[in-house]
A and B are shown apart, each in its own frame.
Chain A
Amino acid sequence: DGGITQSPKYLFRKEGQNVTLSCEQNLNHDAMYWYRQDPGQGLRLIYYSQIVNDFQKGDIAEGYSVSREKKESFPLTVTSAQKNPTAFYLCASKGGSAYNEQFFGPGTRLTVL
């Protein structure tokens, strides 16, 4: 399955709670990405990281935070500041060349109750 995993597969959260989504890859990729997917919509970039200890905001970073302490891991925290967090979250990673394929994880479906 491409060496990139996400956990959990399904996550339920109460309003006002922070929650962290896990993303791990064993592909030795430098770049990692987080996307949000809403029903019937495309993939919107939340955060991305080109290298360990560095990350950049994407198009919809408000209410989210990330860390990149290890090359293999890029966890995403959905904070209580995110107004509408219910969505399907996809993590991806990519090797160094601009033309390398971006591999996606299986996704985490987050539901706020």
Chain B
Amino acid sequence: GENVEQHPSTLSVQEGDSAVIKCTYSDSASNYFPWYKQELGKRPQLIIDIRSNVGEKKDQRIAVTLNKTAKHFSLHITETQPEDSAVYFCAARASTGGFKTIFGAGTRLFVKA
């Protein structure tokens, strides 16, 4: 079945450093790739997304890159701040199959002040 692998499971960085989270998907029909941030005990919230016809997208300190050939996509956070500490989930969705969104296992990011 469809699968999304996410690495690393835990990431610790110093405030001001960059953080990179990487994901790989298996379903070649996937054409939409959202990233969610979940703070402790809260709901996941969309922070950025990218469509398959785009290779890179940026929103202030956050950027996402997509390599369709390799089925890889990555989240880049620059100038990290303590409030960036949370669990981040990558996901992949195809236009078919009921718009099922397949989530990665999550990356717990710690930003040390």
Q: A31-B99, A41-B106, A42-B106 are in contact. Are A98 and B43 (CB under 8 A)?
A: no
State whether B51 touches A99 (Cβ < 8 A).
yes
User: What DSSP secondary structure best describes chain B's contact surface?
Assistant: strand
B34: chain A residues at CB < 8 Å are 101-102
Whether a CB of chain B sits under 8 angstroms from the CB of A63 is: no
Q: Could you say which interface size class chain A belongs to?
A: 20 to 34
Tell me the residues in window 40-82 of chain B with beta carbons closer than 8 Å to chain A beta carbons. Answer: 42-46, 49, 51
Contact with A along B96-113 (1 / 0, CB 8 A): 001111111110100000
Contact with B along A13-52 (1 / 0, CB 8 A): 0000000000000000001010100001111110010100
| Residue from A56, A59, A104 within 8 A of B44 (CB atoms) | A104
* Most chain B beta carbons < 10 A, residue from A44, A56, A102, A105: A102
Taking CB atoms and an 8 Å cut-off, the chain A residues in 62-86 that contact chain B are none
Q: A104-B45, A106-B42 are in contact. Are A42 and B99 (CB under 8 A)?
A: no
Task: State the A residues within 8 Å of B (CB).
Answer: 31, 33, 35, 40-45, 48, 50, 56, 58-59, 90, 94, 98-99, 101-102, 104-107
Q: Which of B44, B93, B102 contacts A98 (CB 8 A)?
A: B93
Q: How large is the interface on B (under 10, 10 to 19, 20 to 34, 35 or more residues)?
A: 20 to 34
**Which residue of A42, A44, A48, A99 contacts B98 across the interface (Cβ within 8 Å)?**
A48
Residues on B with beta carbons closer than 8 Å to the beta carbon of A90? 43-44
Q: Quick one: which of B32, B102, B103, B106 contacts A99, CB cutoff 8 A?
A: B32
Most A CB contacts (10 A, CB to CB) among B6, B46, B99, B103 go to B99
Partner of A105, one of B43, B49, B99: B43
Bound-state Cα–Cα, A99 to B95, Å = 8
Contact check, A104 vs B43: say whether CB atoms are below 8 A apart. yes
**A33 vs B31: C-alpha distance in the bound complex, in angstroms?**
19
Closest to B101 in A: A102
Please indicate the chain A residues that have their CB under 8 angstroms from the CB of B104 in the complex.
Answer: 42
Assembled-state Cα–Cα distance A33/B91 (Å): 15
Rounded to whole Å, the gap between the CB of B77 and the closest CB of chain A is 19
Partner of B89, one of A40, A42, A45, A50: A42
